[in-house]
Amino acid sequence: MIYGERMAESLWRPAIIVAASEIMLKGGNRPRYMRLLAKNIADAVSVHGAKVYRKQARIIVEPRSGEDSEELAQRVSRIPGVRWVRIGYLVPRDYGLLMQIAVEKARELKPSRIAVEVSRADKSYPKTSLEIMRELGERIRSSSGAMVDLENPETVFWVNVLDDVFLFGWRRIEGVGGLPVGASGRVLALLSGGLDSPVAAWLMMKRGCIVDMLHIYALPTPQDAISDKIGELFLKLRETSPLSRLFLAPYHHFMSGAITAKPRLELALFRRFMLRLAEALSLEIGAKAIVTGDSVGQVASQTLEALHAASYGLRLVVLRPLAGYDKEEIIRLSKTLGLYELSTRDYKDCCSIISKHPIPRPRLEDVEHEWGRLGLDDAVAKTLEEVYVFDGSSLEAWKNISTGRRNISQE
């Protein structure tokens, strides 16, 4: 893969042209973010054998000969940090050749209504954007019979004038936006077997975070958990954040510690247990925040009182990207991301074992008193010693990875 500048070759070449999202607003961080986005795109398309490099303010993906540009463009459009992609060509700065290619493409596509958009990164080019737009539009109209319709075009032909090449495109695919993964540091997301937490994890990837995930399993072994839907969900999310890891922690220490807990406080205690465990793990691996799939008021454990009782006293911030979403919005996003079918498969998670009738608005003092009475800080410490980590290919006991556990996540 190539990330630097690349000189134009003598012939026009198929290309997928990528525009960055918020990166262009980042001032001094812009070059770093552009390099990071180019690397993320290169990693995502490496299996396709495509070339990836930067050319001024654009990232260019050149498909391997015979590669389906549509499929590759769709893959690139789903990478955080991408504003849009265009399917097109790199054309040498030969104005006549540009006209010829545009006419041939219009005859191939046979649109009835067209528009032309032109921008000049190289302001020294002798023709203005408006002149190119008018001349190209007229040439396409007269040769193909298509009508120019700036309000509702069927096909938009796009030209970007760079210092050594024309970028020419005819199909635009909207990207997901956001920041490139890795731009915002590392966080740890709680991953359950439900709909919400995978979507929350993805939304933090979209904000530039490398998202590690923590799953507390009720199945007999961590291998059972990754062999079921949790492993598949993690691998699906890891397509967006390739440096992510899945940490697996057993449920049994909490279950033993909370055996005499007041039944209607059990869920509040378990929520606090998850967050305390996530914080302890985050401090070890260098994660700067904890991520949950909470949507305010959606269920009994997500009332403001319940959220307050669960997270009170934590040193790390808890990010809740779904806080203002309703269930239908979460379902739509889950389907868009290709997570819905996996998320709705049957799975025995810890919440299915917890008391079915929790107090919807637990008092903080009641939860803290019960937590102390049961000695659940010990359950957190014991559980931390039995965490396993899955990196997408191998499953190992976390404590055996390194004698200095703090080093395992420092990029």
pLDDT digits (tens, 9 = 90+) for 111-142: 999 999 999 999 999 999 999 999 999 999 99
Final residue of a structural domain among 159, 177, 195: 177
Structure tokens at 13: 């070449």
Q: Is the dihedral of CA 297, 269, 288, 401 positive or negative?
A: negative
Angle subtended by helix axes 364-374 and 304-311, to nearest 10: 40
Distance of CA 375 to the CA centre of its chain: 38
Query: Closest Cα partner for 15 from 56, 48, 50, 63?
Result: 63
Task: Measure the CA–CA gap between 270 and 384, rounded to whole angstroms.
Answer: 15
Domains identified in the chain, total number: 2
Residue 101 sits in the same domain as residue 171 = yes
In a domain, 3, yes or no: no
CATH number for the domain spanning 98: value is: 3.30.2130.30
pLDDT at 1 over 50: no
Task: Measure the CA–CA gap between 342 and 182, rounded to whole angstroms.
Answer: 26
Residue 201 sits in the same domain as residue 116 = no
Distance of CA 392 to the CA centre of its chain: 17
Residues 6+ apart with CB under 8 A from 186: 209, 210, 211, 212, 285, 286, 287, 288, 409, 411
Q: In the structure, what pLDDT confidence band is assigned to residue 228 with cuts at 50, 70 and 90?
A: confident
- Mean pLDDT for 256-278 is 92
Amino acid at 254: F
Structure tokens at 24: 């262009």
Name the residue with higher pLDDT: 228 or 250. Answer: 250
Q: Can you give the pLDDT at residue 139?
A: 94
Structural domain for 102, as ranges: 13-177
Residue 150 sits in the same domain as residue 231 = no
In a domain, 378, yes or no: yes
Which range among 21-30, 72-81, 165-174, 188-197 shows the weakest confidence by mean pLDDT? 21-30
Phi-psi category of residue 66: left, alpha or beta, with phi > 0 → left and psi -120 to 50 → alpha: left
Residue 255 sits in the same domain as residue 388 = yes
In a domain, 32, yes or no: yes
In a domain, 1, yes or no: no
Phi-psi category of residue 288: left, alpha or beta, with phi > 0 → left and psi -120 to 50 → alpha: alpha
User: How many CB atoms lie under 10 A from the CB of residue 283?
Assistant: 13
Instruction: Please name every residue paired with 171 in a beta bridge, in sequence order, or none if there are none.
Output: 87
In a domain, 351, yes or no: yes
Residue 256 sits in the same domain as residue 357 = yes
Q: Can you give the pLDDT at residue 299?
A: 76
Task: Measure the CA–CA gap between 338 and 198, rounded to whole angstroms.
Answer: 11
Final residue of a structural domain among 155, 177, 199: 177
Residue 21 sits in the same domain as residue 161 = yes
| b/e per residue 221-257 (b: at least 16 CB within 10 A) | ebeebbebbbbbbbbbbbebbebbbbbbbbbebbbeb
pLDDT at 273 over 50: yes
pLDDT at 3 over 80: no
Final residue of a structural domain among 177, 206, 223: 177
Beta pairing class for 289-291 and 186-190: parallel
Query: Closest Cα partner for 287 from 213, 361, 180, 384?
Result: 213
Phi-psi category of residue 380: left, alpha or beta, with phi > 0 → left and psi -120 to 50 → alpha: alpha
In a domain, 399, yes or no: yes
CATH number for the domain spanning 281: value is: 3.40.50.620
Give tens-digit pLDDT for 290-308.
Answer: 999 999 877 767 789 889 9
Which range among 43-47, 268-272, 283-287, 369-373 shows the weakest confidence by mean pLDDT? 43-47
Q: Can you give the pLDDT at residue 352?
A: 60
Residue 312 sits in the same domain as residue 163 = no
In a domain, 99, yes or no: yes
Residue 160 sits in the same domain as residue 21 = yes
Q: How distant, in Å, are the alpha carbons of 113, 116, 117, 144, 392 from that of 131?
A: 20, 11, 11, 20, 53
In a domain, 274, yes or no: yes
Name the percent of the chain lying above pLDDT 90: 70
Residue 312 sits in the same domain as residue 243 = yes
Q: Are 165 and 90 in contact (CB under 8 A)?
A: yes
Q: Is the dihedral of CA 247, 253, 259, 262 positive or negative?
A: negative
Q: Can you give the pLDDT at residue 187?
A: 97
pLDDT at 361 over 50: yes
Structure tokens at 102: 């545009």
Which range among 66-70, 278-282, 346-350 shows the weakest confidence by mean pLDDT? 346-350
Give tens-digit pLDDT for 7-20.
Answer: 344 478 999 999 99
Q: Are 402 and 408 in contact (CB under 8 A)?
A: yes
Residue 167 sits in the same domain as residue 120 = yes
Residue 172 sits in the same domain as residue 192 = no
Residue 155 sits in the same domain as residue 196 = no
Q: Are 234 and 269 in contact (CB under 8 A)?
A: no
